[in-house]
Amino acid sequence: MRPFLFSKSSAANQALAKKNHSTQFIAGGTNLVDLMKKHIANPESLVDISSALPNKVENTTKGISIGAMMRNSATANDAIILAKFPLVAKAILAGASPQIRNMASAAGNLLQRTRCPYFYDVTTPCNKRQPGSGCSAINGENRMSAVAGYSEQCVAVHPSDLCVALAALDASVVVNDKDGKTQTIAFQDFHRLPGNTPQKDNNLPANALIRAIEIAANPFAKNNAYVKLRDRDSYAFALVSVAAALHLNGDKIVEARLASGGVAHKPWRWLAAEKYLKGKTANIANFEAAANIAIKDLKPLSHNGFKIPMLKGAIETALKQCLDL
Amino acid sequence: MKQEYNFSRRFFLKTSSALGALAFIPKGVKAFYEEVKNFIVPAKEQIPLKVSINKKSYAIKADTRTTLLDLLREDLNLTGAKKGCDHGQCGACTVHVDGQRVLSCLTLAATLPGKEVTTIEGLANGDQLHPMQEAFIACDGFQCGYCTPGQIMSAVACVKEGHTKSIAEIKEFMSGNLCRCGAYNGIVESIQKVAAQ
């Protein structure tokens, strides 16, 4: 690690007042400390914000608010989450290890960097790490890379499981700036596609902190599932993952939600498949048809063609699991 | 020049070296500044830390970069927690902070004041081993022993959290601790044994 100055803030505005171009905030540190060890993140000063942000799940008039500093394990065990948004708990528990979930924060989860091997290998070009240097993955070892939404500049995927559930549930991200002004960003607008600026993962304003993640009340608490396929049974990033949720009236689908990890630079929503399922009978034939719609326009790279049939199976399985089939 | 006193030594060092070297290598100023930054060592900050480890208080000065794992092993001679990967992938460095299992290799020591750390050295009560330590011996929960301190700290937490209802659940909630000897069956058995007590 390169040397840095360390300080702790007990309030968000205090922390934001210390922010300049070479400052980084640290919460759980499970990603940042690793990036600093590898000289990928080189802050000259670090501000510990673990006591500066809310760490409770609270009921609000519209739904719930998850405090930015909620540790992932605490969110996954929270009584409100388990009763109203169990998909969030399922997604969290499919990710990382118990030790990392005890450390990692909800807001930090949204801001974690990609796990593309070239991003971590400082001896190779990577547009995300060093803009303009080139993408090593697009013609390199890309079995973990994107199958949708990528550009010539970057084929990395977002590594989070929690974010896949939050995307499916149309969450929103509440951010605070230095003057205490609050802005709410819809989850689908929070993370970015790489385009020509792959160094930017998200649309968090430069001088702002995530304060909370909000989820509006929804009818998906009963029928939902998170399916994650990876190189080993546990403690690995997704090859593909699927968050599925159904609102049923008898055996008719009133509304369906489908999102995936391991597909793109941001948590990926399968809007056309969701639209197809609306009003249909919840059965295996319709689930298969929806999965076929989802995978129709995907463009795999040289090594990740296997993700397409894998996604089809994962979407069907997740939808079946929503019904306990 | 009077102006210069406004700059920190760190900034001055970087900028003057960068500009000096610029005379020889024609590159974009910004790109070159980024290059040069890699060769200049910025000022190191030592901060005073008061940490509580295994119910004993320590007052120590440490570089801000010190991880809890390095603090334990290099500064305090508590070498039970092991450095396996040093990147949060193997679990050999697992300790408890405020009763919760965490990875000491990804925890900065500077974040610890006010918290209680428990390491493998703090589990036994004098010569009386912790039931999980006894179980690992009884069930052959290790071979080479390198991952064992991390496995035991994780196993104690696993039982405390109540994630012991089935072998599958134990395996899932112990997946953050790798064992290259493959002592997994013995580890699961040890946990079942303690959970049943």
Q: Do B45 and A5 touch (CB under 8 A)?
A: yes
B140: alpha, beta or left? (left if phi > 0; alpha if psi -120 to 50):
left
B16 part of contact set with chain A, CB < 8 Å: no
pLDDT tens, position by position, B27-39: 577 777 767 766 7
Q: Which residues of A touch B11 (CB under 8 A)?
A: none
- Asked if domains A5-50 and A223-322 share a fold, the reply is no
User: What pLDDT is stored for residue B32 in this prediction?
Assistant: 76
Q: Which domains does chain B have, with CATH numbers?
A: 2-37 (no CATH), 46-122 (3.10.20.30), 131-196 (1.10.150.120)
B136 part of contact set with chain A, CB < 8 Å: no
The amino acid present at A239, given as its one-letter code, is L
Could you please state the CATH topology (level 3) that the domain comprising A5-50 is classified under: 3.30.43
Q: Do A73 and B86 touch (CB under 8 A)?
A: no
Q: What SS3 state is found at A315? A: helix
Architecture of domain A223-322: 2-Layer Sandwich (3.30)
* Cα–Cα nearest to B29, from B189, B37, B176: B37
Q: What is the DSSP secondary structure assignment for residue A303, as one 8-state letter?
A: S
Distance from the B96 Cα atom to the nearest Cα atom in chain A, whole angstroms: 9
* Cα–Cα nearest to A22, from B40, B6, B34, B106: B34
Mutation site for B-interface testing, chosen from A97, A113, A231 by largest number of B Cβ within 10 Å: A97
Q: Which residues of chain A have pLDDT under 70?
A: none
Packing angle, helices B148-161 and B131-138, rounded to 10: 120
The larger pLDDT score, comparing residue B23 to residue A39, is at: A39
What are the extents of the domains in chain A? 5-50, 223-322
pLDDT of residue B41 exceeding 80: no
B67 part of contact set with chain A, CB < 8 Å: yes
* CB within 8 Å of chain B, chain A residues 232-291: 233-235
Among A4, A34, A98, beta carbon nearest to B64: A4
Instruction: State mean pLDDT over B147-168.
Output: 98
Q: Are B95 and B121 in contact (CB under 8 A)?
A: no
User: What pLDDT is stored for residue B93 in this prediction?
Assistant: 98
- Listed in sequence order, the residues at least 6 apart from A159 whose beta carbon sits closer than 8 Å to its beta carbon are A112, A113, A114, A115, A237, A238, A261
> In this structure, what token pair is assigned to residue A295?
């995978």
Percent of chain B with pLDDT over 90: 77
Distance from the B76 Cα atom to the nearest Cα atom in chain A, whole angstroms: 21
> In this structure, what token pair is assigned to residue A19?
């922010």
Q: Do B101 and A99 touch (CB under 8 A)?
A: yes
> In this structure, what token pair is assigned to residue B114?
């006010």
- Listed in sequence order, the residues at least 6 apart from B105 whose beta carbon sits closer than 8 Å to its beta carbon are B67, B68, B69, B83, B85, B86, B87, B88, B93
A37 part of contact set with chain B, CB < 8 Å: yes
B50 part of contact set with chain A, CB < 8 Å: no
Q: How confident is the model at residue B44 (pLDDT cuts 50, 70, 90)?
A: confident
User: What pLDDT is stored for residue A155 in this prediction?
Assistant: 98
> Phi and psi at residue A284, in whole multiples of 5°?
-65, -35
A123 part of contact set with chain B, CB < 8 Å: no
pLDDT tens, position by position, A223-234: 999 999 999 999
User: What pLDDT is stored for residue B2 in this prediction?
Assistant: 38
Quickly count: other Cβ atoms within 10 Å of residue B61's Cβ: 10
* Helix locations, chain B, DSSP H: 9-22, 29-37, 68-70, 131-138, 148-161, 167-173, 184-196
User: What pLDDT is stored for residue A180 in this prediction?
Assistant: 85
> In this structure, what token pair is assigned to residue A17?
């007042």
pLDDT of residue B11 exceeding 60: no
As a whole number of angstroms, the distance between CA A176 and CA B12 comes to 34
Packing angle, helices B184-196 and B131-138, rounded to 10: 130
B111 part of contact set with chain A, CB < 8 Å: yes
B13 part of contact set with chain A, CB < 8 Å: no
Q: Which residues of B touch A96 (CB under 8 A)?
A: 176
Q: Are A153 and A106 in contact (CB under 8 A)?
A: no
Q: What is the ipTM of this complex?
A: 0.96
Q: Determine the distance from the C-alpha atom of residue A108 to the mean position of all C-alpha atoms in its chain, rounded to a whole number.
A: 10
As a whole number of angstroms, the distance between CA B87 and CA A238 comes to 19
Instruction: State mean pLDDT over B160-172.
Output: 98
Q: Do A4 and B43 touch (CB under 8 A)?
A: no
User: What pLDDT is stored for residue B24 in this prediction?
Assistant: 55
Q: Do B94 and A99 touch (CB under 8 A)?
A: yes
Q: Do B45 and A3 touch (CB under 8 A)?
A: yes
B43 part of contact set with chain A, CB < 8 Å: yes
User: What pLDDT is stored for residue B35 in this prediction?
Assistant: 72
